[in-house]
Homo-oligomer: A and B are copies of this chain.
């Protein structure tokens, strides 16, 4: 299962999770449980905004969902419509002011916005707004969106929202709440997942379907690229569009790493997809070995798939301490050198004298991989063969994943053989992009079967801008 990167060896910073529900007497509490199911998508902060049709009730703070919300806090969030957010900072630094949903007053009343994704033209829009006298209290794209809506001269909020969405370029799965309406939007490429469910008569929305399972809601469908849903408590859900859909480009890392294994994306279960990634990897890069082990928790499914396909036994060669929390005392360099290790242990009896295949989902900077390979060697592994269930990450992501700059991406500057040496592996192989797309098995007829592969191939689905283009051209 996905785990929290702040506690973890994992090198990919996760993004955000959004949740919304319309017309349920327990709106806040269900949002709490929904956010809890999405906790793996962001552990930095959490927030819920509810409306009882007259005014907002808001609680937001830094921390995990169950740290931010007490039972008392949740019960103060009255009203039958709610939106919520868990956040791992993508744009915006880790400060309280940035905690979503953001809440604003504008000429027509209160408005709250929660987004998942990242705008490519966020800085550009921000500069334009500032040049026209706007002030900003956060560093989030979400505040840019609020300004655009407020500055619209459109007669209705719905038109203002549509105008605004057409100015945005990038990834956004978006919830906009007022005291009488909830708007739900998906960018024209559907770069981030967003699903529609139903719980009794109430519509619910979530970044992942596991949130529906947690609250007992039924999955209806995914929101389509360019769609804008308009919900009111009385009139149900009306489906409109603000844009023609462009080629669907769901982030591949949702399958590879981000999403919970029990979520489905476009009808494909994530655990099952990962097992197929492992199988495919075993076909593309088989190696004789005694033991298969996965880097917990995100690579467990791929490791099982690899093991099943090859008949090599799957073992718990690496164990993660479940109790590593935010406030943990880091070992000093000296203690580290003496062998103190807090998060991950290699299991000597499992790997000693063995040829080990270590399955991981990705290599970003390479430092973690080397550390894990060395853990296995210190525990007596005779050989360590690293197999990665995705292609080399060569290009930065501008849509919400904090993969680091290009020059920090080990695969951007090094051949596979060079990486192998750097991480001290006996052999190393990545999955091919084609193999990955094939293994995930999306039914789409679109290019790349509806995947965004930009970080692997540099084919970005949207236009890029200024600084980014410059960076891109380097």
Residues of chain A touching chain B, judged by Cβ–Cβ distance below 8 Å, are 1, 3-4, 26, 29-30, 32-33, 36-37, 39-40, 43, 58, 64-67, 69-71, 74, 95-97, 102-107, 111, 127, 130-131, 133-137, 139, 146-147, 150-152, 199-200, 210, 213-217, 260-262, 264, 268-269, 271-272, 275, 297, 300-301, 304, 308, 313-316, 319-325, 327-329, 331-332, 335, 338-342, 345-350
Contact assessment for A33 and B342 in the assembled complex, using a CB-CB cutoff below 8 Å: yes
Q: How far is the CA of A71 from the CA of B331 in the complex (A)?
A: 10
Q: How far is the CA of A327 from the CA of B39 in the complex (A)?
A: 15
Candidates B40, B111, B147, B341; contact of A214 at CB < 8 Å: B341
Contact assessment for A133 and B106 in the assembled complex, using a CB-CB cutoff below 8 Å: yes
Chain B hits for A152, CB < 8 A = 133
Given pairs A214-B345, A262-B319, 15 additional interface contacts (CB within 8 A): A33-B335, A36-B321, A36-B328, A43-B323, A96-B96, A104-B137, A105-B130, A133-B152, A137-B137, A214-B341, A215-B335, A215-B338, A268-B349, A272-B349, A314-B314
Contact assessment for A213 and B348 in the assembled complex, using a CB-CB cutoff below 8 Å: yes
Chain B hits for A127, CB < 8 A = 107
Chain B's closest residue to A318 (CB) is B262
Q: How far is the CA of A268 from the CA of B260 in the complex (A)?
A: 33
Contact assessment for A37 and B272 in the assembled complex, using a CB-CB cutoff below 8 Å: no
Q: How far is the CA of A321 from the CA of B1 in the complex (A)?
A: 9
Given known pairs A40-B322, A210-B345, the reply for A150 and B137 (CB within 8 Å) is no
Chain B hits for A133, CB < 8 A = 106-107, 147, 150-152
A349 to chain B, nearest CB (A): 3
Contact assessment for A321 and B136 in the assembled complex, using a CB-CB cutoff below 8 Å: no
Contact assessment for A36 and B342 in the assembled complex, using a CB-CB cutoff below 8 Å: yes
Q: How far is the CA of A150 from the CA of B340 in the complex (A)?
A: 37
Name, among A58, A111, A269, the residue most crowded by chain B CB atoms within 10 Å (CB to CB): A269
Contact assessment for B329 and A106 in the assembled complex, using a CB-CB cutoff below 8 Å: no
Contact assessment for B314 and A304 in the assembled complex, using a CB-CB cutoff below 8 Å: yes
A104 to chain B, nearest CB (A): 4
Chain B hits for A346, CB < 8 A = 262
Chain B hits for A200, CB < 8 A = 338
Chain B's closest residue to A33 (CB) is B340
Q: How far is the CA of A401 from the CA of B131 in the complex (A)?
A: 37
Contact assessment for A347 and B262 in the assembled complex, using a CB-CB cutoff below 8 Å: yes
Given known pairs A70-B329, A349-B272, the reply for A319 and B151 (CB within 8 Å) is no
Name, among A67, A213, A271, A327, the residue most crowded by chain B CB atoms within 10 Å (CB to CB): A213
Candidates B150, B314, B325; contact of A135 at CB < 8 Å: B150
